[in-house]
Amino acid sequence: MRHASHALILSILLLCGGAAAAEQAAGLNVLVTSPDRQAQMMAMVLSSQAMKTHGKAVTIILCASAGDLALRSTETPSFPPLNKSPTMLLNKLLEMGATVVICPMYLPTTGNNTDDLIEGITVGKPPVCAGQVLDKDYKNLTF
């Protein structure tokens, strides 16, 4: 009887684990506005893991102070234990195929232009960005 209950518990755990994976979102929308570099780093780490570990599509929308991450000239501090910075991870995410857009208000309000952006980052179009964050198959995270 004891072995049967252990087998039943193990079966339930295996089924629940599979169900949790099956219920994952199709992808991740990450909206970053915080000037806090640690918060920006967490946004990049979770985005990286969504792509690498879970094979999910990631769209990152940078706005307000976080828009600085999109500039070629921006340098951010490295954080332990990875010894990587938000800008390093952002560049890696672009290499991995993440979509990264900058808020359309950022460039004109900061005196920057598209030539100042890291290659691969585009200016967001509000109807497209709104559609992305409204997509029920994607999980939205804000930092």
Model pLDDT for residues 94-118, shown as the tens digit of each residue: 999 999 999 999 999 999 999 999 9
pLDDT confidence of residue 5: 47
Exposed/middle/buried for residue 92 (C-beta within 10 Å: 0-12, 13-18, 19+): middle
- 49 φψ region: left (φ > 0), alpha (ψ -120 to 50), beta (else): alpha
pTM here is 0.83
The distance between the two most distant Cα atoms of the chain, rounded to a whole number of Å, is: 73
Residue 28 pairs with which residues in a beta bridge? 58, 139
Question: Does residue 109 contact residue 65 with C-beta atoms inside 8 Å?
Answer: no
For residues 136 and 21, which has the higher predicted lDDT (pLDDT)?
Answer: 136
Assigned token pair, 75: 């340098």
pLDDT confidence of residue 23: 84
Question: With pLDDT > 70 as the criterion, what percentage of the chain qualifies?
Answer: 85
Confidence tier at 21 by pLDDT (50, 70, 90): low
Nearest 5°: the CA angle 107, 108, 113 is 50
Question: Could you give phi then psi for residue 67, rounded to 5 degrees?
Answer: -60, -25
Which tens digit of pLDDT belongs to each residue from 28-70?
Answer: 999 999 999 999 999 999 999 999 999 999 999 999 999 999 9
Dihedral of CA atoms 22, 24, 25, 29 in degrees, nearest 10, equals -160
